[in-house]
Amino acid sequence: MFRYFENLVDPYVDYTVKDRPPTRLWPFLWDYAQPFRKVFLLAGLLSIVVAAVEIWLIYYMGRVVDLMTGEPARVWAEHGSELLLVAAFVLLVRPALHVLDVLVLNNAVMPNFGTLIRWRAHKHVLRQSVGWFENDFAGRIANRIMQTPPAAGEVVFQVFDAIAFALAYMVGAAVLLMAADARLLLPLLIWLALYAVLVRWTLQRVGPASKAASDARSTVTGRVVDSYTNIHSVKMFAHNDHELDYALEAIENTRRTFQVEMRIYTVMDVVLVTLNGLLIVGVVGWAVLLWMQGQASVGVVAAASALTLRLNAMTGWIMWALTTFFRQLGVVAEGMETIAQPIDLVDRPGASALALRDGRIDIRGLSHHYGRDGGGLDHVSLSIEPGEKVGLIGRSGAGKSTLVKLLLRFYDAEQGVIEIDGQDISKVTQDSLRRQIGMVQQDSALLHRSVRDNLLYGRPDATEDQMIAAARRAEAHEFILDLEDPQGRRGYDAHVGERGVKLSGGQRQRVTLARVVLKDAPILLLDEATSALDSEVEAAIQNTLYGMMEGKTVIAIAHRLSTIARMDRILVMDRGRIVEEGNHAALLARGGLYAQFWAHQSGGFLNTEEVEAAE
């Protein structure tokens, strides 16, 4: 039975992926709700039916009180069958309706609706560009991905469990009182008007207050995760107190925003108790007065009393349901600031896969300043022949990394064109482009998974022997075999920690190098590929690097000039432009910037600060 209702909606059903999802709250939720339309309709109908049954029960209890004024034997003789049928209905039909209502809401809607939102939101965020992620805290992004689905689920739950039920109950209560005596409807209507004013006052304040509190919580999460992610820097600089102060500011802001929210609820509770007192006195007192005048039966008084006491109990629940509803809407609205943002870096309609033949790279008039006036690249033109090995050097900020990021299409160039084998990379699919490029980065971060998972990230279909062979070529196999994590997993099954923190910098770099060896892409990008290695390991890996380069088009960024001295061509960049190019010997003979870099090296590293000072 549970499985049937749990499978009524598939949260992973295919859907039309949108680069620009709705940015307004209700269209946003409605877009996610499409697979649930029939189930939502059923849940709404069941809520109304359950509310109608509850009102009918109160009415019937009044009828039972009236029947009890007669002689027991006669009552049983005339109404026994009716009473037995009602008893059967209460024992069998009412629980069945309630069970069906609960199954639809708790088992068909709640687990699947939140799952659908979390899955689609994560899918949407993963499609965002690298630049998009660089502009926000990873912790805040993750927090919004995690808190929005349960908040949206709570919104749906309150709509059907409380709001639809409450509306149906209020209408039924009005009908019941009017049927008993139309004058009993007056105090109820007055109370409803005052109650509506209170609800409006509360909701006008709860929504903004809830959103402010949610924003504040996300900021706390972002700051705390930022500290944990950079715990080595925190400890190294002895900045525990600084991080505490940094978090304290956000934590205190969270406390203040939550205080504002709680004040609203306190005022609401005090006013609500007063209004409910007026409801009880007004309806029950009037019913008693009508009975004393002989214009109402005891059953009417009993039904009116039961109804007002039930409404008295429900009003607090309804108010909390409504405030929860709008508070969770505030959380969803805050989450939309992340998961409803448009994706600007997209494949063009009809984009084809990159058909790589030779690996020739042509760059014409390439400029990119990240939306600023300076920095980045400035009108760079360059051609790299198939199989050519090109070294790239320059001061920090010269534009080297920008060139590599544009080649990977982490950003769309503001001006100019990059072509691979005559194909504009902005017109091919991003995945097909990046599958043809292997890259070893200076920041050799790893996934918090096993060594095997990290290596196979480069080529998921590789065999065990191929994976081990790649690790051997990167001088990583021996130390991998000695690894063991706190859970007792050893060797290639050992987990490396968040961003690979359980490994040394050199070990991480060798694992990332092995991953690229395994990928065996025809275009190879090296960004300080040996920067974290000691001299002995670097010497052993140099041959591996040059072996990897055979038959590939290579661009290598380096400050250690010895790693690129054997390149076919070396490009010197300065202030976003290529200012010198040639092989090592030709550039030394030229006596320009490269020669200065070479002359000012210390231990084989490029000392750009001394060069700048000399100028």
What is the per-residue pLDDT across 442-501, written as a single tens digit (0 to 9) for each? 777 788 889 999 999 889 999 999 999 999 988 889 999 999 988 899 999 999 887 777
Rounded mean pLDDT of 558-571? 82
What is the Cα–Cα distance from 573 to 395, expressed in whole angstroms?
A: 8
pLDDT band per the 50, 70, 90 thresholds, residue 95: very high
What is the Cα–Cα distance from 575 to 555, expressed in whole angstroms?
A: 19
The 3-state DSSP class for residue 573 equals strand
CA distances from 185 to 2, 72, 297 (A): 42, 33, 16
Closest CA to 422 of 518, 342, 355: 355
Pull the structure tokens for residue 586.
């030709």
What is the Cα–Cα distance from 191 to 283, expressed in whole angstroms?
A: 10
One-letter-per-residue 3-state SS of 389-433: EEEEEECCCCCHHHHHHHHCCCCCCCEEEEEECCEEHHHECHHHH
In terms of C-beta density within 10 A (0-12 exposed, 13-18 middle, 19 or more buried), how is residue 28 classed?
buried
pLDDT for residue 612 is more than 60: no
Closest CA to 272 of 322, 208, 328: 322
CA distances from 199 to 163, 205, 319, 452, 582 (A): 12, 10, 7, 57, 76
Rounded mean pLDDT of 209-219? 82
Pull the structure tokens for residue 80.
């026994």
Which position has the token pair 């997993």?
489
Residue 490 gets which letter from DSSP? B
Q: How far apart are the first and last CA of the chain?
A: 80
Asked if residue 69 lies in contact with residue 117, where contact means CB atoms within 8 angstroms, the answer is no
Q: Which residues pair with 24 in a beta bridge?
A: none
pLDDT for residue 385 is more than 90: yes
Q: Provide the percentage of residues in the chain whose pLDDT is more than 70.
A: 94
Residue 146's CB is within 10 A of a number of other CB atoms, namely 14
pLDDT at 406: 93
pLDDT at 541: 66
State the helix-helix crossing angle for 185-229 and 164-180, rounded to 10 degrees.
Answer: 170
- Mean predicted lDDT score pLDDT of the chain: 84
What is the Cα–Cα distance from 544 to 471, expressed in whole angstroms?
A: 11
The gap from C-alpha 35 to its chain's centroid, in whole angstroms, comes to 20
pLDDT band per the 50, 70, 90 thresholds, residue 36: very high
- Structural domains for the chain: 10-339 (1.20.1560.10)
- Segment among 409-423, 539-553, 555-569 with least mean pLDDT: 539-553
pLDDT band per the 50, 70, 90 thresholds, residue 396: confident
pLDDT at 540: 63
What is the amino acid identity at position 282? G
pLDDT for residue 538 is more than 70: no
CA angle 18, 21, 24 (to 5 degrees): 165
Residue 571 gets which letter from DSSP? E
